[in-house]
Amino acid sequence: MSDVVEKTLTALPSLLSLDSQPGSAKLSSTSKLGNLIRGITELTSKHEEEKLIQRELTSIKDQVSSPNTSMRQMKELMVRAIYCEMLGYEASFSYIHAIKLAQQGSVLDKRVGYLAVSLFLNESHELLLLLVNTVLKDLQSTNLIEVCMALTVVSQMFPKDMIPAILPLVEDKLNHPKEIIRRKAVLALYKFYLIAPNQVQHIHNKFRKALCDKDPGVMTASLHIYLQLIKENSEGYKDLTASFVTILKQVVGGKLPMDFNYHSVPAPWLQIQLLRILSLLGKNDQSTSEIMYEVLDESLRRAEMNHNITYAILYECVKCIYTIQPKSELLEKAAKCIGNFVLSPKINLKYLGLKALTYVVQQDPKLALQHQMTIIECLDHPDLIIKRETLELLFRITNGQNVTVIVEKMLDFLRISKDDYTTIDLVGKVAELAEKYPFETMNTVFSLGGDMMQPDIPNSFLKLLSEGFDSDEEDRKLRLFAVDSYVSLLQSEPNKLPQRFLQVISWVLGEYSHLSAELEPATVMTLLSKLLDLKHTSSETKSWVLMAMTKLCEGGVAISVAQDIYETHSSSMDTVLRQRAQELQHLSQDSELYLMGGVDSSLSFLDGFVSEALAAGAAPYKPPHQRQEELAQAKALSLEPYSLSLPISMSSCSIADRQSPTLMSMSSGLSGDSTDLSHKGGSTTLKLDGVKRVWGREGYLAQREPVEETAQVEVPSPLRSPSQQAEADSTQSQTPTPTVTPELEQDKQQLASSLFVGLGSQSSVCLMGKSDPTPQRFRRKAQGRASSSGASEKTPTSLGSTPSPVDNLLCNSLLDSNLVSEPTNQTPQASQSLDTTNGNCHEELTDVKENNPSLIHNNEEPDKPKDLCLSSHLPTELSGLSHSEITPLCSNQSVNLSACHVQKEDSLQLVIFIFNSSDSALQQMQLQVDSGELKVNYCLSLITDSPVEEVRSHSVAVCHYSVTVKRPSVHVEVLGMLSYQLPGGTPQTIQFSHKLPLTTFIRPLTLSTEEYGSMWLAFSQDTKQNLTLINDDQDPLTTTLNVLKKKLQLHVVEIIGVEGIVACQLVQDQPCLMHCRVHAGTLAVWLRSPVPDLPDCLLYHCQRALQEH
């Protein structure tokens, strides 16, 4: 490229003066096309453009159909029609004329005619049939250019069923004296072979003739066909191996004419084509492979590491070496070569290095071990493409020991991926891993998915486990494996596990721990009882635990444990827990009852009690649905607190009975006071659709073998002892990398050891579940990094040269860092300053005409970041939405920070603007945003996802976060810190805090009165208070509720008489229900929610809203 670097920006004068360079000489700036193009650039709106183009099209239409239009004029008209089509306007009236032009025009008009046809029509267009005759005629022409054009158009698009009509003519061209014709003919035949292979079957021997053509160009063209043929049937072409090897030898040896060189590398395209063919031929074939070892070795040796094109050859060479039968010497060299790729600072090469590793890692897992630190770095790379490729590599090295960490990484990626195709692919891979390593994977899914998971996932998992499969023996193994893995989880750090996972664990242990011979029920009891003492264990989980214990409470130690529990819980506020504790105590002491196990499901023992009550005048029993109907008919509120509560005895029949878990969770839902989150339908964080299927009966059965395998995998101790940890640390610290801090480095080392476990001789540490803190810490680090990169591409670059279109394309290739990008004209280049918007579609041409770069905005008013101008910096995906007022956060002599928020349906988007008011650029800028009450995610927006480390003088950087509430409070506070450095100065920090009222997180929750009723029952947190009623002579209740609705975005479900029910949710998916009743001139409100503090905080805001009114 260096030969063109020096070329300077001279295109502008040459354009305007129409000087005699070969290209610009024909620049049609005075032509009609030129006028059209210039006309468009002067327009300011899309609408005007539309009008202009429609006018243009009408005029073209008139002219093309006029009989007086010459072919030469027609050519010009076609060019204009092509231009209109490129802008996205349809010019279908001109298609037929394009064909006519190709048919009747002189050779140069024809060229444009063929071009227009190939751009306008596609293979199935009916008009294309009209072209067949023209092509036939031109193929027979004595004019070589016409023949060339015909062959070109044929290879671009030709109706499949018309191929036989021209095939003989194209075939004939293989014997043409001119090599250019022969070459095009070969490529046309290649195209035919691709779209209709059976039609060219009879000419395979002619391909061989082309391969032996004396012109290397024709030979090269024929290799396309051979690659295809060999792909389909490598056996049939083994005899050609020696010829291909000879050709490659000659190419590598520089025997081809100079014309074939590309940047002094001999015929790279040909080399790569040959390497591909050789790898297909040598695959699983020792004798064929042996023929090529020598030339591969030479290729590796000859390709010097200096140019992209040689890297391309090397990559293909390495792939070939790993595809054919291995030869240790070559493998060694190839491995070294991969190392060069992986360790390269150039990101493109790193990418290819990862790809190469992925390709070879199954044969040579050690290679991945060698590069583990680089892989870890790539896993954390800001470029998603690199990240994705790394996951691909990890997927290939997954084994029973590292599967949890790898699945975790994949799920992490899934959360940020916006691309459907990637998501589908990755979910498929997670599912595949889940099939191979069911327990490890499901453990990860449970640990990570946590309480956000759809409740039917754990339920169906348990159902599957309890119903089992065809073979009893396998069922037993599977359950035993589950028990073992869960026991080891509980022995480590159960307090890190999500509630749902604990419930699954309790159930499995209760049902199946007897399968394990060495496991004493008392041990399990003790483990389970520890769960009860954990602070964060919800009452629902507790009741699962207690139920599990009732299944185990036999024998000496168990009785004392049960006794302890009874004492703690018999006075519990929670009636369900109280009852369960009671049951547990009874059963543990009465072993007869425990063994009996039978349940009288007709409840006949209650008959006497019932008849007594009926006789005493009690109302007869009505089933719930009947009551519901009656309520609905009566148009009464179906609030269940006011209705009869269901007989609680329903849940008591599950005591010692083996029950399906689905039913169990239902009964706990009925119990009225648990934090059941089952209404949380569309959980958005985990995309587990793919995973769920795996647990279908068939899916599992198909993978029976690997399961058996994993069932035998021993469960390593999941937690490192402190001494082990220290030991590991000391060994790890021997290989420091200078660029990262030791702490981070250590994290990476730990991650590495968990990722690459089982691949080599390294001491293996297994991360069963999430017991090891390493991945946790690592993730937090990564997040901090992401948020610190608070980035914006939009930073105006008034000082830098924004390349204008007149820059030489070659000398200003921005991505090639080694290029000089010095603009020749010293006036600042027109910069795409602050307000580059999508509407300004043709500004690059405007720039050219106005030499005075008036577009620079920040010269005009650099000092004050106005709201208006800040809001133009909003990330594009937010720019359409209304945002709050932009409030200043803090400022010092060099920076001003301000913030605003945008309410989205599922989250709150917080945008922080960093305005550099100093005269020099801020460097090494890092913005950290944190909050105890909020979950802050740094948003990767489409435009602004580059890590801003630098903000130029008087310009703005934007950081964008998505915020959801972790713990409600009246005002949630965001704390932040910006650290930066002025050139030559010391690092500085500036801190700020920003309060967001809880109301910004409240969204209406639309539900029906019935849904409201059942949810009301399930929520445990409640608050009651009287509020002022807005006294309106009409209807005070409606008025008050409407005020609340307007100010707090609540959803009024229904108003009946003096009562009203209202629902809302805290993003995401944390509902709060409100029941209001007008009573003695005040509004008595009763709030319920599963989230602690939410009712109180909401009540505060209701009060404020009504006072302010």
Residue 786 phi/psi, 5-degree rounding, is -65, -40
* CB closer to another protein, 308 vs 325: 308
- Distance of closest approach, residue 724 Cβ to another protein, in angstroms: 39
The Cα 760–Cα 284 span in angstroms is 26
* CB closer to another protein, 815 vs 1080: 815
Q: Which of 908, 876, 933 is nearest to 1049 (CA)?
A: 908
The Cα 247–Cα 257 span in angstroms is 14
- Whether 973 and 995 have beta carbons less than 8 Å apart is answered as yes
CA 1028 from centroid of its chain's CA atoms: 49
* CB closer to another protein, 300 vs 656: 300
- Distance of closest approach, residue 319 Cβ to another protein, in angstroms: 9
DSSP-assigned states of every residue in 866-926: -HHHHHTTS-HHHHTS-B---EEEEE-SSEEEEEEEEE-SS-EEEEEEEEE-SSS-BEEEE
- Distance of closest approach, residue 1083 Cβ to another protein, in angstroms: 50
For the chain, the straight-line distance linking the first and the last C-alpha, in angstroms and rounded, comes to 71
- Distance of closest approach, residue 262 Cβ to another protein, in angstroms: 6
* CB closer to another protein, 417 vs 894: 417
- Distance of closest approach, residue 880 Cβ to another protein, in angstroms: 15
- Distance of closest approach, residue 222 Cβ to another protein, in angstroms: 11
* CB closer to another protein, 343 vs 385: 385
* CB closer to another protein, 403 vs 958: 958
Cα→Cα distances 848→36, 307, 858, Å: 16, 35, 20
Residue 158 C-beta-side C-alpha neighbours within 13 Å: 29
Q: Which amino acid is at 877?
A: E
- Whether 1087 and 1040 have beta carbons less than 8 Å apart is answered as no
- Distance of closest approach, residue 46 Cβ to another protein, in angstroms: 12
Q: Which amino acid is at 302?
A: R
What contacts 894, CB < 8 A, 6 or more positions away? 916, 917, 918, 922, 980, 982, 988
Residue 265 phi/psi, 5-degree rounding, is -100, 130
Place of tokens 């690592």: 778
* CB closer to another protein, 24 vs 1021: 24
Q: Which of 934, 905, 969, 935 is nearest to 1099 (CA)?
A: 969
* CB closer to another protein, 8 vs 654: 8
* CB closer to another protein, 207 vs 311: 311
- Distance of closest approach, residue 903 Cβ to another protein, in angstroms: 24
- Distance of closest approach, residue 68 Cβ to another protein, in angstroms: 20
* CB closer to another protein, 794 vs 1003: 794
- Distance of closest approach, residue 420 Cβ to another protein, in angstroms: 9
748 in helix, strand or coil? Answer: helix
- Distance of closest approach, residue 430 Cβ to another protein, in angstroms: 18
The Cα 444–Cα 348 span in angstroms is 33
Indicate the DSSP class of residue 1076: E
- Whether 1086 and 666 have beta carbons less than 8 Å apart is answered as no
The Cα 146–Cα 106 span in angstroms is 10
Q: Which of 531, 576, 552 is nearest to 671 (CA)?
A: 576
Helices and strands, number each (H, E), in the chain: 49, 16
Indicate the DSSP class of residue 1085: E
Any bridge partners for residue 324, and if so which?
283
Bond before 1068 cis per omega within 30 degrees: yes
- Distance of closest approach, residue 308 Cβ to another protein, in angstroms: 5
CA-based angle 516:519:524, to the nearest 5?
115
The Cα 609–Cα 613 span in angstroms is 6
- Whether 925 and 772 have beta carbons less than 8 Å apart is answered as no
Q: Which two tokens stand for residue 9?
A: 């920006």
* CB closer to another protein, 378 vs 1067: 378
* CB closer to another protein, 774 vs 795: 795
- Distance of closest approach, residue 311 Cβ to another protein, in angstroms: 5
* CB closer to another protein, 299 vs 832: 832
DSSP-assigned states of every residue in 650-669: HHHTTSSS---HHHHHHHHH
* CB closer to another protein, 943 vs 975: 943
Indicate the DSSP class of residue 197: G
- Distance of closest approach, residue 809 Cβ to another protein, in angstroms: 4
* CB closer to another protein, 303 vs 996: 303
| Gyration radius from the chain CA atoms | 37
- Distance of closest approach, residue 703 Cβ to another protein, in angstroms: 26
